[in-house]
Every structure is written in C-alpha cells, then in structure tokens.
Structure 1
Amino acid sequence: MRLDGAHVLVAGATGVLGTAVCTALHGRGARLAVAGRNPHRLAGVTGALTPDGGGPPPSRAFDAYDLSGCGALPSWAAAELGGLDAVLALPGVAGFGAAAETEDAVAEHLFTVNALCPLAVLRAALPLLGRGGAIGAVSGVLVERAQPSMADYGAAKAALSHWLTAVRTEERRRGVQVLDARLPHLDTGFAGRAVAGTPPALPAGVPAEAAADAVVDALADGAGVLGPGPGGGFATRPR
C-alpha cells in the first residue's frame, strides 16, 4: 500500500516497538492516530510526531481488558482522520515459566493483552477498510516453534497468528492485506518487563528501529508474513 498520505491507526503506540513503528510511518508520510495504555508516554509519542507548525496526531488511551474500548478504536480513528487505510495492533506482554506453575490469572492476562485485545481492534477495523487497506499485528517467531517456559505466552501469540492466517484468506477477495509480523527477540527490554517468571537465555535482540522499519516495509510491500531472514535480516512472504 502507498504510505504517503495513508490514514493509519497504531494501537499499542506507547511500547518501544509501537513508538518506533509510529516514527517510521510518520517518516513515510502517513497520517497517524495513536492509542496506548500509558497517557504520559502517549503524550510523548504525539509530541515527537507533531510536525513543525502543525497540531499533534489524534491520540486516545485504552485498556487491553476493556475489549469494547479496544473495538471502538478504529471507528474513532476513522472519524479523526477522515477515513482509515490501515490498522496495526501492537500491544503485548511477555510471561515465562513452566506451564504447571503458571497461575490462571497470569494466563488470562497473557491471552487478553496478546490475543483478545489486538483481535478486538482488528476485527472492528475490517468493515471500515476498502480494497487496498491493511491490518497487521506482531505475533513472534515462536509461533513457528514452541518454546519451553513460554507455553502460555506462546499459545496466546499462536492464537493471534492463527486468526491472522484465517482472516488473510477471508479478506483476499476484498483485497485487504493481513500482515503477521513474526518477529524474533527484540532489544526493547520487553522480556525484562514480563508479567510473570524469568526469561530463559535469549539470543541477542534485534534493535527496535530495525524491526519497525521491516514492519513498515512489509506493510508497504503488501506482504502477508514477515519473519527472520538469512544473515540476520528480515524476509517476507506474499499475502
């Protein structure tokens, strides 16, 4: 899709990756509406995206547990921007530990933030998008290979990836792109902010800016799946 002038909602804009994606989209000329959990950080994001002599992009705080509020974000963004071309749902939280030791409340949190919230945002976006529109979310490379000590976290991300795969087929006739960004471990401090458990040994993380550029490139190229490529880079598959 053409990003210059595109109307794009980024939900989860206050995370490290979400902020980097907003910066990359802004640099490509996209008109953004941004939403995030932390109002203070949200103000910082909008301030960084405010053009000289212009006003800040529309912003809205939301709670991942308020699924109705999550689902209201696309219509709000469309009204603020005068239309909607793409929606990226980027909220996420990590959790670690053996499955037998994971509390139900932790599992509920992981599934709500990593699956139910982004699905509510993207589901509500679909009726608002026309041919050439796009939705996307970040699942993770672990959806292709289950990892110990990440059973519930991985299952939540796999649920998101499965939904994106099914919807990609459903929306192909309408010409709506569905992007599943199966990113590797990122150097964002994400694992260190886990809702539970201690992360296992992880490989060196990819810088958030590099991952954000790859996500935005994949969106522009109409890709269906983005994942690690040869030589430590990224590779895409057609939608």
Structure 2
Amino acid sequence: MEIDGARVLVAGGTGAIGRAVAAELHRRGARLVLAGRDPSKLAGAAGDLGGCPVVRFDAYDLDGCADAVAEAAAALGGLDAVLTAFGVAAFGPARGTGDDIAEHLMAVNALAPAAFLRAALPLLGEGGALAAVTGVVAERPQPGMADYSASKSALAAWLDAVRREARPAGVRVLDLRFGHLDTGFADRAVAGEPPRMPPGGDLELSARTAVDALAAGAARVRPGPDGAPVVEDRAR
C-alpha cells in the first residue's frame, strides 16, 4: 500500500499507540481521520496532525462503530485503510473474574474492533488494508490475564479468517502483536492490579514498524528475539 496520500481511519487515535501510529502515518503523507470517545482528547490529537477530521464512537455501541467508518469515508472521500488501536485490560485469576468483566473485555477488545473492520471491508478497493492491535497475549496467553488474553485471541482469530476471505479482493489484513509498551495502559485496567512488567519497548519504533508493515502488505508484526517489533509474512 502506498502510504503517501492514503486515506486512513485510526480508531483509538487518542491513545498512546493510536497517536504514535497516526503521527507516523501523517509524517509519511497519509490523510487521516481519528476516532475516539473523548471530544477534548480528539481535538488535541487532531490538532497535532494539522487539524484532521475526527469522529466519535463508544466501543459498546457496535452500530456506532460502523457509523464512524461511514463518517470517516465521507470526510475523506473514501478509505484505503482502517486501523483499530483501542482496548481495555483486566487482571486477576479467572475464578475471581466476574462475568460482567469478561463480557466487557470481549465487547471492547474483540467485537468493537471487528465492527469497525467489518464495516470497512466493502469500502476498500484492491491494495486496501485492515489493521488491528492485538498484542502478544493473543498468542501467548498469560496466567492472571485469562479473559484479557481470550479477548485479544478472539480478535486475532477473526483477523486470520478475514485475511483469507479478503485476499481475492486484494485487501490485506494486518495483526499488530506488539510486546509490552510503557503507555500506562495496564494502569487503567477495569479490574485487578497489573503484575510486575518488564521494561517497555520503544513506542516510536513500534509505530514505524506498524506503518512499514502496512506499506508492505504484511500479515503480522511480532516481537523479535530481542523484543523489538519485526514485520512477518510480507506479501509476495
């Protein structure tokens, strides 16, 4: 995908990862719409990117997620890529995690991103891309994070299936399985206390790698042997 001039919706554009990826896309010439929940944070993030358009959404409103895609497409005259970079965490043993927390995690971390990307699929032409931040827990579920890991694994499984469905139309699907990043995300968990975490990775490097992967039509970004993100499964 050619990044310069690409029309990209970044859902979760007020969070640390979303803002970093949006900033890298903007630096490379992409035209952006940011989607988020908080109007003041949206205005601040958009102001840093030359005053790009914004749309609001609530992750619990799946119809609203789809509506945000339509609004973004109208603002840009179409879409070439949609990236979701939002979610919530929860910690603690599975036996102590309430069903309400498990439902919240699945809604925000799996159903809402899928609603964004599903709505975008019919709008993308050949060379378009869908992308989502899942995290390394999608493939390495951790004790004390069972329901959080399950919600991210659910999204990763959805992306794997849709990648095969979308391939004949020339649409790429990218799964961003970053390792731990020091963004404060774990400290905003909806339940429990985060375990001791290793030093976080380089957020700006992760953002650059994400955009490199979009440009390459890659399938995944994963932590390499040294923990730094690497692009895998480049399109041939």
Instruction: Please classify the TM superposition score into its range, dividing by the shorter chain length.
Output: over 0.9
2:115 maps to which residue? 120
% same residue: 59
CA contact under 8 A between 2:110 and 2:152: conserved in structure 1? yes
Q: How does 1:80-229 map to 2 (within 5 A)?
A: 80-229=75-224
Whole-angstrom distance in 2 between the partners of 1:231 and 1:186: 14
Map 1:9-20 → 2, pairs under 5 A: 9-20=9-20
Q: Shift of residue 39 of structure 1?
A: 1.0
Aligned-pair distance for 1:33? 0.7
Which residue in 1 is equivalent to 2:54?
59
Aligned match of 2:29: 29
8 Å CA contact 1:188–1:207 kept in 2: the answer is: no
Aligned letter for 1:182? R
Query: What amino acid maps onto 2:212 in structure 1?
Result: D
AA partner of residue 103 (structure 2) = E
Q: CA deviation at 1:30?
A: 0.1
Residue 217 of structure 1: CA displacement? 1.1
Gaps of 5+ in 2: none
**Kept in 1: contact 2:90–2:148 (CA 8 A):** yes
The CA distance in 2 between the partners of 1:141 and 1:110, in whole Å, is 16
> What's the CA shift for 1:88?
0.3
* 1:8 aligned residue: 8
For residues 74-126 of structure 1, the C-alpha deviation after alignment (integer angstroms, 9 at most, x for no partner) is: 22111110111000011111110100000111111111111111000000000
| Amino acid corresponding to residue 70 of structure 2 in structure 1 | S
Equivalent residue letter for 1:24: E
How many angstroms apart in 1 are the aligned matches of 2:203 and 2:163? 26
Are 2:201 and 2:228, in contact at CA under 8 Å, matched by a contact in 1? no
Which stretches in structure 1 are left out of the alignment for 5+ residues?
51-55
Distance 2:224 2:23 in 1: 23
Tell me the distance in 2 between the aligned counterparts of 1:146 and 1:24: 29
Q: How far apart are 1:231 and its partner, in Å?
A: 2.6
Secondary structure of the residue aligned to 2:232 is strand
Query: Does structure 2 conserve the Cα–Cα contact (< 8 Å) formed by 1:5 and 1:29?
Result: yes
Q: Distance in 1 between matches of 2:56 and 2:73?
A: 16
Q: CA deviation at 1:208?
A: 2.1
Paired position in structure 2 for 1:237: 232
The one-letter code sitting in structure 2 at the alignment partner of 1:174 is A
Distance in 2 separating the partners of 1:129 and 1:8: 11
1:69 aligns with 2:41: no
Q: CA RMSD in A?
A: 1.0
How many pairs does the alignment contain? Answer: 234
Moved over 4 A (4+): none
Question: What is the CA–CA distance in structure 2 between the aligned matches of 1:111 and 1:179, rounded to whole Å?
Answer: 20
